[in-house]
Structure 1
Amino acid sequence: MEKMIFVNLPVRDLAAATTFYEALGGTRNPNFSDEQTSCMIFSGAIGVMLLTRERYATFTSRPIGDARRESQTLIALSVETRDEVDQTVEKAARAGGKADPNPMQGHGFMYSRSVEDPDGYVWEILWMDQAAAAAEPPGA
């Protein structure tokens, strides 16, 4: 079985978060979703579990942070083309996100932009030219 990653995120408004993550390219899996959870599938190996803060609290004894005030994580999602970076960020921004909360990045072989979801989680959308990246000297 292929290894999978599930990013679990506490959200304030499940419907708004679901709309945002659909715009980001995810598909809601109804088999693992309910009134407190949306399981968003991005590929056969990547899923994002959107959990109401109440549901999320059942999985941890720690306080739930506020991603709007504190950086907790940077999550990167790759796309197929450089143009798709821009298209994805703009589509997610129209679905309730904030485009470019962090500076745009361009390193020749890589291009990325960021988008902040309605709860403050920042996603880096990136495209990388694998052949050009392999040709770059280490540390360049």
Structure 2
Amino acid sequence: MTNKMIFLNLPVRDLARSMSFFRALGYTFNEKFTDDSAACLVISETIYAMLLTHEKFQGFMPQGNQIVDAFQSTQALIALSCTDRDEVNALVAKAVAAGGRIYNEPQDHGFMYGHGFQDPDGHVWEVFWMDPAMAQG
């Protein structure tokens, strides 16, 4: 396989609010792929999330499908790795301070620690740390 990058597409109700939320978490946007209907959230050098207005998102969906409210129906859990437990906790705290909400308690499995938040549109972001020794097969 030669797939090298991931572009996750997410519908958002208020693009400016969503951009402000993710900036408060410390993320940036690629302005080349950002306009009044879409914003390219840079998660890493190979991972991006396209935040799309509902109208723009609808244009990419199969005909007849509808956008669902992510607070009512979860179709994906977006999991992002962190360097340590402190980074997990800091990112969740930033998300809550910026208007996100916690949907569960932290999970500590010894070799792995995770917590998560919902962004202002209800999308679930799980952030976790895993002992590097456990991550290697």
Return the offset for 1:113: 0.4
Name the stretch that deviates more: 11-20 or 23-32: 23-32
1:94 paired residue among 78, 82, 97: 97
The answer on 1:39 being equivalent to 2:45 is no
- TM-score, normalisation: structure 1: 0.89
* Aligned positions, number: 134
TM-score (structure 2 length as normaliser): 0.90
CA RMSD in angstroms comes to: 1.8
Structure 1 counterpart of 2:30: 29
* Unpaired segments ≥5 residues, structure 2: none
Deviation at 1:40, TM superposition (A): 0.4
Deviation of 1:2 after TM superposition, in Å, equals 6.5
Judged with a 3 Å threshold, the aligned counterparts in structure 2 of structure 1 residues 134 and 36 are, in CA distance, closer, same or farther, namely closer
Q: CA offset at residue 25 of structure 1? A: 3.9
Q: Counterparts in 2 of 1:58-69, with a 5 A limit?
A: 58-60=59-61, 61=63, 62-69=65-72
User: Moved runs in structure 1, 4+ residues, more than 4 A?
Assistant: none
Which of 108, 111, 119 aligns to 1:109? It is 111
For 1:134 and 1:94, the matched residues in 2 are separated by 31
2:77 is aligned, of 74, 79, 87, to 74
Alignment correspondent of 2:7 = 6
Seq. identity, % = 50
Equivalence for 1:138: none
Distance 1:134 1:11, change over 3 A: closer
User: Distance between the aligned counterparts of 2:20 and 2:72, measured in 1?
Assistant: 22
Q: Deviations over 1:71-91 (max 9, x none)?
A: 111110111111010000001
1:125 to 118, 124, 127: 127
CA distance in 2, matches of 1:53, 1:2: 27
